[in-house]
Structure 1
């Protein structure tokens, strides 16, 4: 099932939200420890994906060029401004419900892990990244619901729609790509995606602050490099 990863992700948010209504007295210390545990798991997944590479030079070049493009376009800043816009116009309109819905939607949607995972689901049927994101989002939903209420539960809908659209688009585009090239591209996307997921894990653990979204153009650049290499070399 091509949308299985997105379905599991949404169900995890719903389940976490329901648990959050029961576990309302979670201490800040517990939240911090659980969050760092999520970060460790995300880093482990990213490393597992990243080390399976035989095109490391192209990946580094793509990361550097992608970072330059992303910084020039200010992708991360733009996503943050969009989030603040939504929060300003909707979060306080209907009390905690709206605030919980908007805040959790921003946390679950705005980021590179959902994009990478959705592409993998659509191209190869590999849902591992979205499964990991589902675990992460589920635990985050518990904490957010304990603080902001049941509005968090309804963020599962925009998360599903957003990731499902990316997955379906990727599945359509893949039919126009030769099988050998597709294998090469998926390996490259997985490897560079793994490095970005490591960066997300480091951010979750608050060990650093990497503007991960500004690296997203590196995925496109690597696809172009690998396609040219396949066609002409």
Structure 2
């Protein structure tokens, strides 16, 4: 069922926020860092497993390289960071309590590339594995945020539902116009992006994930015709 990944993510944020704000005391910094690094290893594994499904390594490499160039030219990562910083400077985010917890948690859960790639993967192929992994990460982060910022963190589930749900439904709507081969290559490119997110969690690799996002579309433009033709031939045989 399309959308299960987002629903799981929403549930994880609600549960984690509730545990953090109502049950669990403030989590030590060392525990928070170590836990996120450990989860980052699992994210790397999930991403590599998805990327390994590609049937054209060359297409994958070229797509990500050209996509990254386009992303840097458009300054996608810089724009995402600037947007997040503008929201953080709004007066009501500085007051503490509900508003601060809601805004900062929403930024964390919605502005990352994992939300985009996971929602696309769920909508295109019906595979929610990226969003399931994101749900675990967000659930743990919700516990930690909730223990410091209170119940406002729980309400970050609302923008997660709207943002990821919209992307998932849009991707599902266009999936019928793409062949299985094209969807597989888009998923493979997304898998490498997810692996990079894991590396950033584990080793603070500093990979600018936002700039790589156009690579998901470049593969379709470059390889669509060559991928579609074998698929049609195979089906015709």
Change (3 A) 1:85 1:142: same
Tell me what 1:164 maps to. 165
Kept after mapping to 1: 8 A contact 2:186/2:217: no
* 1:96 shift after superposition: 2.3
The aligned length equals 229
Two-structure CA RMSD over aligned residues (Å): 1.5
> Equivalents in 2 of 1:204, 1:93: separation in Å?
26
Further displaced range: 94-103 or 5-14: 94-103
Normalising by the residue count of structure 2, what TM-score does the alignment of the two structures yield? 0.92
* Separation in structure 2 between the aligned mates of residue 12 and residue 172 of structure 1, nearest angstrom: 26
Structure 1: where are the runs of 5+ without partners?
A: none
Alignment of 1:28-107 (within 5 A): 28-89=29-90, 91-92=92-93, 94-107=95-108
2:200 aligns with one of 165, 179, 203: 203
Query: What SS class does the counterpart of residue 143 from structure 1 fall into?
Result: helix
Please, what TM-score do these two structures have when normalized by structure 1?
Answer: 0.93
- SS of alignment partner, residue 194 of structure 1: helix
1:184 corresponds in structure 2 to 181
Q: 1:71 to 1:154 in 2, by over 3 A?
A: same
User: How much has 1:130 moved relative to structure 2?
Assistant: 0.7
Any gaps of 5 or more consecutive residues in structure 2? 231-237
Residue equivalent to 2:15: 15
C-alpha change, 1:90 and 1:185, in structure 2 (3 Å) is: farther
- 1:120 aligns with 121
SS in 2 for 1:72: helix
